[in-house]
Chain A
Amino acid sequence: MRKVLVVEDEVLIRLTLVDALLAAGFDVVEAGSADEAADIIDEQTIHLLFTDIQLPGTMTGVDLAHAVARRFPDAGIIVASGRLTPGADELPSGAEFLPKPYRFEEIVTRLSAM
């Protein structure tokens, strides 16, 4: 079972996405900040990352995406934001961007295809 790390500081959005991913058969770990997520990837192997860009703490979602790509080069990565649209060269190779608001089913579909 592939493990998805979901990083989103808006709790309601995070829980809803976690529920959708669990229902789709993924193993899910969650974090409310990129700093918290960084601790998780030090201790666990993840196969997929979904992260918001703007998060509380010292790291952004883009920073986290790069950290995940370094640690797990084959991991599928989706970053989302309602504020920023990162340039293609700002994200790790192969990472996808999704603007808010998004459909939860779309995230499940995209992660399933990665």
Chain B
Amino acid sequence: MKIAMATDKISSRERFLEAIVQSAIDYAIISMDLDGLVTSWNEGARNILGWSADDMIGKPATVFFTQEDRERGVPQKEMTAALNRGRGNDERWHLRADGTLFWASGEMMALRAPDDTVIGFIKILRDRTEERERVDRERLLMHELGHRMKNTLSVVQAIVTQSLRNAASLDDASEKLQSRIAGYARAHEILLQKDWVSATLADVLDAAKTNIGLQGSERLRSVGPDVQLGPQAALSFSMVFHELLTNASKYGALSNADGSVDVAWDIERRAGTDVLVVSWQEAGGPHIPSSEPDRKGFGSRLIISSLRAFGEADISYEPGGVALVAALPLARIQLRNDLSEIDKNAT
């Protein structure tokens, strides 16, 4: 710490106080005269603001205020508040020597002589940039969670509406509702396990199988490399697999004792683009009459529309069951958004 006064006149008590100020390296402790010129500048001030005591002694303390605050007379207002009320505190952006900004909580106090006359000011600053950024991140995260919650409620509303509209009975509606919402919840769970960044296609399929009690079924075979899906694609695939599995269990290849389903996927290079090619092929299922209501029903439309949001998809109803092929550009299905971006920015 450097103090602009004759050191031979400093008492032992003042040396004790100086040692305290010197050791407070997380706090910038700055004294000024009545004209706002710096008279002392501790090690904490050097750490936080970047200027050394030699740089600052005798210079205006306004240098670490932003241009905008200087133009608005903020340094003078702080001194006036300290004079009138003894002290004043605030939080604002300040400037470092390298020109970067930091968020500081600060307190300005009047410095009085033994006869109580004001001889200057003491300003104590603390760098609160990390706390400020954390609060900003939390606010952003809460906003995003609010959005996601409203969107999820809207999806659940749609699930309820569709399940009731297309149900044959109350029991049927209840079963559809519960399994669709549970499937959607499982997909969320997988994404949350990976900070809402991604989920593998295999994990999404396994979750959908488990949701309707088909975990470990040897009649449902799947093969493919590890493919990461972005949050939106993971949720879409969870709904697609749920509809396919439910349809296969009720009407298709898994509704009798002999049928089977093969799910295969791979990455192919097509026209200079990596494309995820997924196929769902049922075999050995009962013959589905052409009048089957679900053929052009909500489930089929949901499957095709969900996949076509990312690329190409076609579904056909063959004698042994459903056949589905989709070709989806990898960049589109791996797109990360909202919460995952916040998480990335936070690290």
Contact = CB atoms under 8 A, between A and B. Distances in A.
Nearest to A102: B154
Contacts of A13: 154-155, 157-158
A12 B159 contact: yes
A16 B161 contact: yes
B47 interface: no
Contacts, number: 64
Which residue of A12, A13, A19, A32 has the most chain B CB atoms within 10 A of its CB atom?
A: A12
Count class of interface residues, chain A? 20 to 34
B157 to A, nearest CB: 5
Interface stretch (B126-134, B145-153, B199-207, B212-220): B145-153
Contacts of A16: 157-158, 161-162
Interface of B is mostly: helix
A66 interface: no
B314 to A, nearest CB: 16
Contacts of B154: 10, 13, 82, 100-102
B65 to A, nearest CB: 34
Interface stretch (B32-40, B85-93, B110-118, B299-307): B299-307
B150 A15 contact: no
A63 interface: no
A100 B143 CA distance: 14
A14 interface: yes
Nearest to A19: B165
B298 A101 contact: no
B298 A15 contact: yes
B150 A19 contact: no
Nearest to A82: B150
Interface string A1-32: 00000000111111111011000000000001
B192 interface: no
Interface string A33-56: 000000000000000000000000
A19 B296 CA distance: 13
Contacts of B143: 83
Nearest to A33: B309
Contacts of B239: 11-12
B236 interface: yes
Nearest to A20: B161
25 contacts: A10-B154, A10-B158, A11-B236, A11-B239, A12-B159, A13-B155, A13-B157, A13-B158, A14-B305, A15-B162, A15-B301, A15-B302, A16-B157, A16-B162, A19-B162, A19-B298, A20-B161, A32-B308, A82-B147, A82-B151, A83-B147, A100-B150, A100-B154, A101-B153, A102-B154
Interface of B: 143, 146-147, 150-151, 153-155, 157-159, 161-162, 165, 236, 239, 298, 301-302, 305-306, 308-309
Interface of A: 9-17, 19-20, 32, 82-83, 99-104
Q: Enumerate the 3 nearest inter-chain pairs by beta-carbon distance, A residue then B residue, closest first.
A: A82-B150, A83-B147, A16-B158
